[in-house]
Chains A and B, each alone.
Chain A
Amino acid sequence: MQIKFAIEGGDFATAGCASSQVKKLLKQLNIDPSDIKKIVVALYEAEVNIVAHAYRGTITVQIDPQKIIIVLDDEGPGIADINLAMQEGYSTATSKVREMGFGAGMGLSNIKKNSDELNIESIVGKGTKLTITKFFATS
């Protein structure tokens, strides 16, 4: 099963909508609750990163019997130093975004902690592509 979402940069009012829909869907599919919790954290952070840091993007969610693969592809400034961006506390968020409580620099590490595989490809001045994989618990 595959679903797609379009995300607009700067649109904080709808940030989290894709995560919410995927959560509902995973519940309907009877995915293990602890897997759902982790997927929701990872997806929310990645969704918010498009809103906070990029211009626009798409989220493609592929759900297979054993795993979920989420691809977040954005047009944006890209990430010059991915290792630096991965460090907890590093953030280039604007002061306005920080006042809202975003921009703690914990997003990418939250994604890493809550997924099984995280792949980041980025081209400065063009955009960023995150591929997040989580395998479902076997019952």
Chain B
Amino acid sequence: MKVCDLVNKLNLQVYAGEKGLSREITGGYTSDLLSDVMGNAEQGEIWVTLQTHKNTMAIASLKDLAAIVLVKGNQPEADTAKMSNEEEIPILGTTLSSFEITGRIFEALKL
């Protein structure tokens, strides 16, 4: 499934990185601990987190993640959004909690 398909299906916000919406999602990882994501997320995964600072984009880029999903209505900081555009890795958003959106993404990716 492509990032844009997931955006449509789950009605996600797109905050930045629109050029990356055609990236393919191969799975997902949910964590707010950066070393956990660094050590355990895989290339192509979509990352669910509440962290909004620029280091998340550095990690998404280094790990070749498909996109970041910010939970609970959190929005990216300006420099995070800028880097998302440069790296063409979308930052998405939802008002749902990590628990709820992770469940929905998991279901959507199974189909």
Binding site for B on A (CB under 8 A): 12-13, 15-17, 19-20, 23, 37, 40-41, 44-45, 48, 100-102, 104-107, 109-110, 113-114
The answer to whether A20 and B62 have CB atoms under 8 Å apart is yes
> B85 on the interface (CB 8 Å rule)?
no
Q: Whole-angstrom distance between the alpha carbons of A16 and B43 in the complex? A: 17
Chain B residues in 8 Å Cβ range of A12: 53-55
Q: Can you report 10 A-B residue pairs in the complex whose CB atoms are below 8 A from each other?
A: A16-B61, A20-B62, A37-B63, A100-B34, A100-B51, A101-B56, A102-B55, A106-B35, A109-B39, A110-B35
Chain A residues in 8 Å Cβ range of B36: 104, 106
What residue in chain A is nearest B61 (Cβ atoms)? A20
Count B-side interface residues using an 8 Å CB cutoff.
20
Chain B residues in 8 Å Cβ range of A102: 34-35, 55
Q: Whole-angstrom distance between the alpha carbons of A106 and B36 in the complex? A: 7
Whole-angstrom distance between the Cβ of A7 and the nearest chain B Cβ? 14
Our count of residue pairs bridging A and B at CB distance below 8 angstroms stands at: 62
Q: Whole-angstrom distance between the alpha carbons of A113 and B39 in the complex? A: 9
B52-91 to A contact mask, C-beta < 8 Å, 1/0? 0111101101110000000000000001000000000000
The answer to whether B55 and A41 have CB atoms under 8 Å apart is no
> B32 on the interface (CB 8 Å rule)?
yes
Whole-angstrom distance between the Cβ of B84 and the nearest chain A Cβ? 14
What residue in chain A is nearest B35 (Cβ atoms)? A106
Chain B residues in 8 Å Cβ range of A41: 38-39
Q: Whole-angstrom distance between the alpha carbons of A44 and B56 in the complex? A: 12
What residue in chain A is nearest B39 (Cβ atoms)? A110
> B111 on the interface (CB 8 Å rule)?
no
The answer to whether A15 and B43 have CB atoms under 8 Å apart is no
Q: Whole-angstrom distance between the alpha carbons of A12 and B32 in the complex? A: 16
Q: Whole-angstrom distance between the alpha carbons of A62 and B36 in the complex? A: 27
